[in-house]
Each structure stands twice: as C-alpha cells, then as structure tokens.
C-alpha cells in the first residue's frame, strides 16, 4: 500500500534547520539589543520622573509661600 507518511517531505526538520541556520543568531542578537535599549529607556524614564516630581514639589512650595505670605 502507498504510504503517505514517507512520501511527504519532512517539514518539521526543514523548518528547524532553517531556524537554526538563518534565524536563531539574528533573533538572539536583536533580543539582546532590545533588552539593552529597554534598560536604557527605563533608566531614562526614572530620571525624568524624579525631575518632574522635584519640579512639581518646587512649584507647590512656591504656591504655598505665595498663598500664606503676609
């Protein structure tokens, strides 16, 4: 009897081989770059947030002084 399992190409191994040969290094490299950029962005946003809080507190204190000054 004709066996379709042996007739069809092995797509799973072909895709695995293509991934390992072509995509694996690129994906790992891009993942590392993205992780680095994300860490830098988080650090920058934390500094920005601290600066905005300091500015807001300064404005609030100036408004308190202006309001209660006699």
pLDDT of residue 64: 95
pLDDT of residue 5: 60
pLDDT surpassing 60 at residue 1: no
Furthest-apart CA atoms within the chain: distance in Å: 104
What's the pLDDT tens digit per position in 6-37?
666 677 777 788 788 888 888 899 999 999 99
What's the pLDDT tens digit per position in 26-69?
889 999 999 999 999 999 999 999 999 999 999 999 999 999 98
- Rounded to two decimals, what is the model's pTM? 0.57
C-alpha distance across the termini of the chain, in Å: 104
């Amino acid at each position: 009897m004709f066996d379709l399992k042996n007739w069809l190409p092995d797509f799973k191994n072909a895709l695995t081989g293509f991934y390992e040969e072509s995509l694996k290094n690129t994906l790992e490299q891009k993942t590392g770059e993205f992780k680095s950029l994300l860490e830098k962005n988080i650090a920058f946003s934390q500094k920005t947030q601290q600066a905005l809080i300091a500015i807001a507190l300064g404005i609030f204190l100036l408004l308190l002084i202006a309001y209660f000054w006699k």
